[in-house]
Amino acid sequence: MQLTIKKDILDIMDHARIEAIARRV
């Protein structure tokens, strides 16, 4: 259960990073 939550947080952080890069371009 904790691993799934950790993966969800990592996915959200990764998505936010991709969105930030996309906005910069």
pLDDT score recorded for residue 1: 63
Residue 24, both tokens: 């910069």
The confidence score (pLDDT) of residue 9 equals 96
**Look-up: residue for tokens 């991709």?**
18
Q: What is the separation of C-alpha 13 from the centre of its chain, rounded to a whole number of angstroms?
A: 3
What is the DSSP track for 3-19? Answer: HHHHHHHHHHHHHHHHH
| Torsional class of 24: left (φ above 0), alpha (ψ -120 to 50), beta (otherwise) | alpha
Q: What is the pTM of this model?
A: 0.54
pLDDT tens for the chain, residues 1 to 25: 688 899 999 999 999 999 999 998 8
